[in-house]
Amino acid sequence: MNQKVAALLNDQINKEFYSAYLYLDMANFYSRKGLDGFANWYEIQAKEEQDHAMLMYQYLQNNGETVTLEAIAKPDKTFEALMDPLKAGLEHERYVTSLINTIYEAAQGAKDFRTTQFLDWFIKEQGEEEKNSMDLITRMELFGEDARSLYLLNSELAGRVYSAPSLVL
């Protein structure tokens, strides 16, 4: 495996765990506001980010690379309004997309086709993550000001269940 690509993947593991921390912080914000459905949505997001980190961890190990775990930074966002975590989540997903694209570009440049194929799943996943974030913002803009509609949206988000990714390494 190209060492630059391996280093980028190793760094991405840390960033995925940071994403999980960030989403747990968002869940904590919504829990304090009494919106358990929103909290549930972000708790599941956190689990997904942990899964992403572990997929990369396993991929590196499967390819004979040593994984170096670094300290995970404390989330640095502060939230005031109910919309704040939603907008921060979309901004963060766009950032993660740029990171995955950088790794993909490095793998392509190194002609590391196995890694580009591995990353194809993450490229698709990031498209879904950004769309989900945008859809949630749109729905909050439409319904968030009305208490009954917010209650219904919160109830819907409470019904989200965790589903582990099915990526074959």
The answer for residues whose C-beta is within 8 angstroms of residue 126's C-beta and 6 or more apart is 93, 96, 97, 100
Q: How many domains does the chain have?
A: 1
**What is the CATH classification number for the domain harbouring 97?**
1.20.1260.10
The answer for residues whose C-beta is within 8 angstroms of residue 71's C-beta and 6 or more apart is none
Low-confidence ranges of the chain (pLDDT < 50): none
112 lies in some domain: yes
Question: Tokens in use for 31?
Answer: 């829990």
Entry pTM: 0.93
pLDDT the model gives residue 71: 96
166 lies in some domain: no
* Structural domain containing residue 152: 3-66+88-158
pLDDT the model gives residue 163: 85
pLDDT the model gives residue 169: 59
pLDDT the model gives residue 60: 97
pLDDT the model gives residue 167: 63
Rg (CA), the chain: 17
